[in-house]
Amino acid sequence: MRESGRCWYSGFDMGRIFAVGDIHGCLDKLLRLMDLVDVNPERDTLLFVGDYIDRGPRSKEVVDYMIRLRGSFRHIIFLKGNHEFLLERYLEGTESAMFLANGGDATLESYMRADGTGRSGSAFPEDHLQFFNDLHLYHETDGFIFVHGGLRPGVPLEDQSEWDMLWIRDEFIYSDFDFGKRVIFGHTPFRRPLVLDNKIGIDTGAVYGNKLTCVELPAVRFYSV
């Protein structure tokens, strides 16, 4: 798998932005959430912060749904999560143990059920591999920066490492650093969305029995199921 794109920059905020937190194979919650939010497919931007797969039971079906959504929305952004990073390494033949230890076994089971061969290496359709290849590390608008894990304080956006953008936690979450724009992120689960002056965390632990959350911007209105 080739390295995914670093950034998608819209230049300005078109309509509203709806950003969805970590899904982790929870298709039922995703479908209910999409029924709840009132997104205009022509004007609004729909954005996902990554971690579509692992731990939950229906990773393959979630990616199927993402691919279908791409054909229905004029402005849609898919970011890369650390679990997509682990899948990438697994498919390259490295980090297999780490992938499996972090819920990758559930992803393989989901794909093998659909494939019917029982062979994990043959279970990923080409359009799914292309979907994973096309994921971006972050998305920037005039008002916000969207990223899966977070940003390292004091480092310019263009110099942030892939590892930090996918994996960082405490150094980012507990920092009051002004990143120039409010950062919208997932990765670290909270019982309720984390709302601070410099950041908003929207991973509310859907796969752990809690809710899947979407934030509407710039209104900072939350939808959860």
pLDDT tens digits in sequence order for the chain, 225 residues long: 334 456 555 544 468 999 999 999 999 999 999 999 999 999 999 999 999 999 999 999 999 999 999 999 999 999 999 999 999 999 999 889 999 999 999 999 999 987 655 454 557 999 999 999 999 999 999 999 999 999 999 999 999 999 999 999 999 999 999 999 999 999 999 999 999 999 999 999 999 999 999 999 999 999 999
Residue from 23, 149, 26, 128 nearest 81 by CA: 149
The pair of structure tokens assigned to 220 is 């900072």
pTM to 2 decimal places: 0.92
Which pLDDT does position 116 carry in this prediction? Answer: 59
Say whether the peptide bond before residue 41 is cis (omega within 30 degrees of 0): no
pLDDT at 4: 46
AA identity, residue 33: L
CATH annotation of 7-145+209-224? 3.60.21.10
Residue-level pLDDT at 12? 44
Predicted pLDDT of residue 2: 39
The dihedral region occupied by 197, where left means phi > 0, alpha psi between -120 and 50, and beta the remainder, is alpha
- Report the 10 Å Cβ neighbour count for 139: 22
Give the pLDDT confidence score for residue 1 in this predicted structure. Answer: 39
- Choose among 111, 103, 108: nearest CA to 54: 103
Domain ranges for the chain: 7-145+209-224
Kind of pairing between the strands at 75-78 and 144-147? unpaired
Of the candidates 12, 33, 20, the residue with the CA atom closest to the CA atom of residue 216: 20
